[in-house]
Chains A and B, each alone.
Chain A
Amino acid sequence: MIPILDIRNLNKNYGAVEILKEVNVAIDPGDFLVLVGPSGCGKSTLLNCIAGLEPISGGSISIGGRDMTQVSPKDRDIAMVFQSYALYPTMTVAKNITFGMKVRGIDAATQARKLAEVAQQLQIEPLLDRRPGQLSGGQRQRVAMGRALVRDPKLFLFDEPLSNLDAKLRVSMRSEIKKLHQNLGATMVYVTHDQIEAMTLATKIVVMKGGVVQQIGTPAEIYNHPANLFVADFMGSPAMNLIPARTQAIADGIQIEIARTEGAPIVLQSPLVQDLPQDVILGLRPEDIAETGFRSGAAVQSAQCRIDLVEPAGADTYVVSELGGKQVTARLHAETKAQPGAMLDLAFDLAKVSFFAPDTGERLN
């Protein structure tokens, strides 16, 4: 299958400043690609490059098998939804949606038909004669989506479309976008700094930092096998515990030793044979540390830990303990009897563990 979007060796500089370095991404029709990273990582610039709104300094972009590197935005067969919605302030909602078709010289009857379809789909029929200034944030968001939908493009581009909405609306719009994607079977590229949005929406995630792609993969791959310390730390909330540790090969696996400020180091033994250096960073998600007895498996190892903090969060209770000089969070069931200052037996699921090199930050297993 020809990828619908194929970005090869893309570079983007502003003068001497490199904004994007050697970006390679390809997606298939129907994919929902999310570009995620902290602000300034280049994700929005990458989206603008895909749209043709920013010229690129090197490499190529092709959409639907056609090289679009030098093609202007209007001929790329794309539609875009902006963070500020970018609705034309002096036009009514209906004119906002039909403006693109008007510019392209599509006949009035078709315009009206498509407008009606989209308005019905997004339930914005009562708003068609209003101006953007008279709409609420959520309504503007819908109109902006309508403007994109009416184009029926090869590629939908979203530039942080939910970041101006309040928390509750954001969650409901998020599921609407997901539904839209499923119903339309359309291909979407979506920029966000919110890793939860990325996880919930994407079929494929690109994690970026400093203009460099850190990892490309499905949400599960990114979550379970982060490629480096940055991805491990950025994706997931609460973040993955990253604990300095020492490893040693033993007869039937490896032995992991984690220092503590008080008391003897914790020693865990993993049956999984791995070739590791002596010093590593051990990465374990909070849900992979449980109260002993609540987790079983070949690679589950228990150790007594001193609990510093107990944070009930309704469905779960988080407890924090100091290990290897780090505040390590464990996600326990809500009924736990954990008390701050008391000792508790914690079970570490070493089948889920990630190892990183302390110097390069790269994944080792």
Chain B
Amino acid sequence: MSDLSPTPATLSAQARPGQIALRWLLFSLLGLFALFYLLPLFVMVTTSLKSLEEIRSGSLVALPREVTFDAWRSAWSGACTGIQCEGLRPYFWNSVLLAVPAVLISTFLGAANGYIIAQWHFRGANLIFSAMLFGCFIPFQVVLLPMARMLGLMGLAGSIPGLIFAHVIYGIGFTTLFFRNFYVTIPSDLVKAAKVDGAGFFRIFWSIFLPLSLPIIVVTVIWQFTQIWNDFLFGVSFSQAGTQPVTVALNNIVNSTTGVKEYNVDMAAAIIAGLPTLLVYVVAGKYFIRGLTAGSVKG
């Protein structure tokens, strides 16, 4: 708090003890907040490693006396999501099968669209871009009903391709925004030079623009992956038993009313469901943050 505190002590050099105290206050505050953010993760991990017995008798924040991975095993391959008791595993793979193509397709489309809007100016391009941008901000509830019907008409109801389709369509806006904002910073002379060199639309895209887009591709892939992996609304609305993504299965495990409440299994399942995006965050946090701020700030 040192620089913020309205005490005159911070101003003069003589007030060293006061400044040191403020420095300590600053660190304790930062530490306390760190605890606030870490506590749920800590509780999740410890709970998932305890037996139900220990959970009932011990304290929430106590470390497990006896570490057991039974809950993890059960969460992965035995927990009930309703009638079925196969754990998260099949749903985890559903999410993978769903997220990978959806991320790739929407990223690729976004790259092509962004390239066109930023570098191949034509009348109405900005209007199209605005239309796409506004599409990013709609609450998806407003398209939920017709999309469910449309997927039915297309024969994709309750299927993973149907979910991929929905995620691609409603991801285009953001991916286009990312790439467009990246490509507008590239001087338009580059396209002109390539045109004079004889390269056409696709050649310029493949040979010149894609190779220099690595940073924005990473940002977009991470953003899209996080969005799609963590999605619940589309998953719960457009899937059926067997094709549900991991978030829906997690919710079903946690809220299934059959049998005893197994908190350790719930926590293990929650960690499993959160692990891929958490991993991405830890490995590529810089790009993750860039995506977050770009996706929310830039118009």
Contacts and interface: CB of A to CB of B under 8 A. Distances in A.
Interface string A80-109: 101111111111000000011001100000
Contacts of B197: 74, 99-100, 103, 147
Contacts of B212: 89-90
B124 to A, nearest CB: 12
Contacts of B196: 51, 53, 73-74, 78-80, 100
Contacts of B194: 88, 99
B198 A74 contact: yes
Chain B at the A interface: SS class: helix
B26 interface: no
A82 B192 contact: yes
Given A86-B187, A89-B212, A90-B211, A103 B199 contact: yes
B189 interface: yes
A154 to B, nearest CB: 13
Contact of B193 (A72, A86, A104): A86
B211 A82 contact: no
A291 B216 CA distance: 66
Contacts of B208: 88, 90-91
Nearest to A14: B123
A84 B189 contact: yes
Given A51-B192, A99-B207, A84 B187 contact: yes
Interface string A181-195: 000000000000000
A48 interface: yes
B65 interface: no
B195 A73 contact: yes
Interface in A33-61: 48, 51-53
Contacts of B187: 84, 86
A86 B189 contact: yes
Interface string B121-149: 00000000000000000000000000000
Nearest to A157: B196
A99 B192 contact: no
B190 interface: yes
A103 B187 CA distance: 21
B16 interface: no
Given A90-B208, A103-B203, A53 B198 contact: no
B199 A99 contact: yes
Nearest to B187: A84
B190 A88 contact: yes
Contact of A48 (B190, B192, B207): B192
A251 to B, nearest CB: 62
A103 B199 CA distance: 6
User: For B193, B199, B200, B212, which residue has the most chain A Cβ atoms within 10 angstroms?
Assistant: B193
A87 B194 CA distance: 9
Given A88-B208, A90-B208, A99-B207, A80 B192 contact: yes
Contacts of A74: 195-200
B291 to A, nearest CB: 22
Contacts of B198: 74, 100, 103-104
Interface in B144-201: 187, 189-190, 192-200
Contacts of A86: 187, 189-190, 192-193
A84 B192 CA distance: 11
Nearest to A78: B196
Contacts of B211: 90-91
A82 B199 contact: no
Contacts of A85: 189
Contact of A80 (B193, B199, B200, B207): B193
Contacts of A48: 192
Contacts of B195: 52-53, 72-74
A219 B195 CA distance: 32
A169 B44 CA distance: 65
A86 B199 CA distance: 14
Interface of A: 48, 51-53, 72-74, 78-80, 82-91, 99-100, 103-104, 147, 159
Given A51-B196, A80-B193, A91-B208, 17 more contacts: A48-B192, A52-B195, A53-B192, A53-B195, A73-B196, A74-B196, A74-B199, A74-B200, A80-B192, A82-B189, A83-B189, A87-B193, A88-B193, A88-B208, A89-B212, A99-B207, A103-B197
5 contacts: A51-B192, A74-B195, A88-B207, A99-B199, A103-B197
Interface of B: 187, 189-190, 192-200, 203, 207-208, 211-212
